[in-house]
Amino acid sequence: MRTNHMKALHSTAHTAARRGLYLLLSAVLVLAATGPTLAQTETLKSIVQGFDAYRSKALQEKLYLHLDRPFYACGETMWFKVYNTDGTLHKPLDLSKVAYVEVLDESLKPVLQGKIALKDGTGNGSFTLPVSLTSGNYKVRAYTSWMKNFEPDFYFETPVTVVNSFTSLGLPPVQDSATYAIQFFPEGGSLVQGISGKVAFQGVNRKTGKGIDFTGKVVDDNGVEVAQFRSHKFGIGQFTFIPVAAATYTALIELPNRKVLRQRLPQVYEQGYSLHLEEYNADQLQLTVAATGQQPEAVHLLGHARQIIGVAESARLQQGIATFVVDKSKLAEGVNHFTVFNSQKQPVCERLYFKRPTQKLQVDAKTDKDLYTTREKVTANLLTQAQEGQAVPANLSVSVYKLDSLQGESATDIYSYLWLTSDLKGTVEQPGYYFTTSGPEVDEAIDNLMLTHGWSRFRWEDVLPEQNTNYKFLPEYDGHFIRGKITDAETGAIAPNITTYLTAPGKHVRLYSATSNKDGLVQFQAKDFYGPKEIVVQSNFLKDSTYHFEVFSPFSDKYAAKPRPGLDIAEHLQQELTQRHIGVQVPYSYHEKHLNIYRAPGIDSTAFYGKADATYLLDDYVRFKVMEEVMREYVPGVQVRLRRGSFHFNVLDSPNSSLFHTNPLVLLDGVPVFDIDKIMAFDPRKVRKLEVFTSKYFHGPHVYTGLVSYTTYQGDLAGFQLDPRSLLMEYEGLQLQREFYAPSYDNEQQRQNRLPDFRNLLHWSPDVVTKADGKTALSFFTSDEAGKYMIVVQGMTKSGLTGSKAFTFEVRQQPL
């Protein structure tokens, strides 16, 4: 019995040990199996967290400019409206209060620059094109201070043509050999040996900037043909082939002029990753990642549009292949980026996919007639709707200009720009085509566009950095930033912790102060700073040594490398150019006084310090010739003291019924004067007003023992000699808004006026607002120019719906 019992115990222990070993092995196998899964989950989570962290601190602004027309003659005025939107949601964005607008010539040199005030996400401005410009294709671009932290490709850009009719065009001939440009773009980014790869291509006529029709074939090193291709819409197309290792492939392209161009395809890599996208069904996409020479590893797919993540998935490469099936419903509208990361979180492939937006601002606009005579009133009725039958108020801009052989429809509209062009690289020909038509041909064209114009609105090294990114330029949410640098005048060394003052002498006293940082940089927030002014930058030279002050230009010095076509104006258009030349000169001959009327910016004219405790208009008193007598006789709140041969002011501390024992902040037309002896030597008869604060005055982080402010009659310092160590320079503030002028023909006498009217631009209105019922109307008069005219309406709602409308009407000469 005992033996049997021991055998039974032994058997039970053995069974338990086997079961324990089995469980242990099972646990090890489970851990071994789940280890890579946990690792790939953590890697994907890390990528998503990095992307979200970047999005939270890198808000994207998108600017759009509605230009009044695409073609100008020197001497004419270019009018524009700025729309600022949230780059993610496409809603009006009231963040930056200043937009920078530039006109760049062919060498990317700015020929016109302006700082445009923004309010509630919009603003408007103008440039008069000087007769010193040469004829050519120019670029208008716009951006904010915050946008300068990112690549210049993010700036708004649009081409315009400028003709100087006062000089010969002098257009250089374009060489035929340089007329065409062909580019090839492997899907996903690279050609990898042994993996079937799709290659997109684009052919452009450099002279016109438009796509071309061409055919071609691809041959290997031995001249063996491996693929044929033919361009599709706008000179864009694609073909597929399987590259082999160590091979070089060449495209033989037959151009429109029947010449054959030889061009190498991108390099074939022995190892690497590829990405292929295709329609899985009506509701899903299939993305296939293929790799060669890689160990079985996890790859991660991130699908995102305008920093909105729609897809975040992981899969393991099985025999070099990983497949993802994505529901289209998860994707945001617009341009989606599919980025593939390897197990080391390195982006290795990217592919774009476009999901058409479903909502649009419906703009219905029509004139009261289709045909008008010269000098006749035109009434246009506008209606804005979120959808048929659902009215919505909108903020619009309206332009009316003549269509002729020189000038056609604008290349951009707000809807196609925000949803398409702004998220693509390079120039998109006729972006409206992708929204106004549908069908297999358009689907193929837009997929080709995604393959050839792909990019990210950021760099992944900025999204997943090893250290935090510090942004150099802050958003100007409360006024224009004037930035500069302070260095030692003798050694050139940077000067940190120096309190610096900037002011523009004038009747409206404005003072801005800043302290230099560790790099000697200063930044003044110049609120309500409009128009050209002379500014003074200085420090307190009584306690600081000699410093050198520098003020930076606020305009960006980075430029996007986008090709522009050369100017091509045929000789048979000479008559149109002559008529345009006359049309430019007529307003200056007969209406010049109306051309430079500016709207008041509507800012508070009160001095920056508000209402003073005591104000003295010196013309109300007996005039003294010496400032000391004025201060002693009329200004009881300031006691004049003479210590060690120098004057000092002791201001009354009214709240505490005592005197301050240090000098107050003393200003002359807003300019700080730290040497009291100099203000005491100034002729008081040049001073119109004297204001005093009899308490502590706080200006930013600085505290002053009272304030004494002198204002001259003209606000121009009246000959006061500034310290020679100060920086005195001209500075252009925010642009003052010019009023658009057009003659009126309300009665017969005005219609019979013999002054000629050759206006090409009949109407420009940047601030048209429809009411709650979505309706509004506007009126203008035709000129003496018969022809076809285009009305362009663009705008958006507070909820971010955007839309445009363009239509024409005709003008004929009045019958005799």
DSSP-derived letter for residue 328 is G
Alpha carbon distances (Å) from 577 to 137, 161, 168, 810, 812: 16, 13, 11, 21, 20
Tokens 């930076």, residue? 552
Whole-number mean pLDDT of the chain? 89
- H or E element at residue 309: strand 308-316
Q: What band does 170 get if pLDDT is binned at 50, 70 and 90? A: low
Q: What is the mean pLDDT of residues 269-291?
A: 94
Q: What band does 26 get if pLDDT is binned at 50, 70 and 90? A: very low
Q: What is the mean pLDDT of residues 795-810?
A: 96
Q: What is the mean pLDDT of residues 423-438?
A: 90
For residue range 661-686, list pLDDT tens digits in order: 999 999 999 999 999 999 999 999 99
pLDDT of residue 788: 95
The one-letter amino acid code at 277 reads L
Tokens representing 122? 């919009």
Q: How much of the chain, in percent, has pLDDT values that exceed 70?
A: 92
For residue range 304-330, list pLDDT tens digits in order: 998 899 999 999 999 999 999 999 999
Q: What is the mean pLDDT of residues 683-704?
A: 93
Whether the pLDDT of residue 608 is over 70: the answer is yes
pLDDT of residue 11: 44
Sorted by where each begins, the domain ranges of the chain are: 614-730
What CATH topology corresponds to 614-730?
Answer: Ferric Hydroxamate Uptake Protein; Chain A, domain 1 (2.170.130)
* 3-state SS, one letter per residue, for 171-240: CCCCCHHHCEEEEEEEHHHCEECCCCEEEEEEEEECCCCEECCCEEEEECCCCCEEEEEECCHHHEEEEE
- The residue ranking higher by pLDDT, 28 or 399, is 399
pLDDT of residue 438: 84
**774 neighbors 336 (Cβ within 8 angstroms):** no
Q: What is the mean pLDDT of residues 125-143?
A: 94
Q: What is the mean pLDDT of residues 554-567?
A: 84
Exposure string (b/e) for 178-191, b if CB count within 10 Å is 16 or more?
ebbebebbbbbbbb
Using CB atoms within 10 Å of the CB of residue 283, give its burial: 0 to 12 exposed, 13 to 18 middle, 19+ buried.
Answer: exposed
Among 33-42, 257-266, 468-477, the minimum mean pLDDT is found in 33-42
Q: Where are the alpha helices (DSSP H) in 289-407?
A: none
pLDDT of residue 21: 36
Q: What are phi and psi of 698, to 5 degrees?
A: -105, 125
Q: What band does 572 get if pLDDT is binned at 50, 70 and 90? A: low
Whether the pLDDT of residue 295 is over 80: the answer is no
E-strand stretches of 23-178: 61-67, 71-73, 77-86, 98-104, 110-117, 122-128, 136-143, 156-163
Whether the pLDDT of residue 114 is over 80: the answer is yes
pLDDT of residue 36: 52
For residue range 769-792, list pLDDT tens digits in order: 999 999 999 999 999 999 999 999
Q: Is 140 helix (H, G, I), strand (E, B) or coil?
A: strand
Whether the pLDDT of residue 19 is over 70: the answer is no
- CA–CA separation, 426 vs 410, rounded Å? 17
Alpha carbon distances (Å) from 260 to 185, 252, 677: 20, 6, 83
DSSP-derived letter for residue 494 is B
Whether the pLDDT of residue 361 is over 90: the answer is yes
DSSP-derived letter for residue 627 is H
For residue range 444-479, list pLDDT tens digits in order: 999 999 999 986 666 676 666 666 678 899 999 999
**Helix, strand, coil fractions of the chain, as percent rounded to 5:** 20, 40, 40
pLDDT of residue 1: 40
Tokens 């994707």, residue? 331
pLDDT of residue 177: 46
For residue range 488-546, list pLDDT tens digits in order: 998 999 999 999 999 999 888 889 999 999 999 999 999 889 999 999 999 998 887 78
Q: What band does 437 get if pLDDT is binned at 50, 70 and 90? A: confident
For residue range 213-255, list pLDDT tens digits in order: 999 999 999 999 999 999 999 999 999 999 998 789 999 999 9
Among 6-15, 254-263, 344-353, 768-777, the minimum mean pLDDT is found in 6-15
pLDDT of residue 814: 82
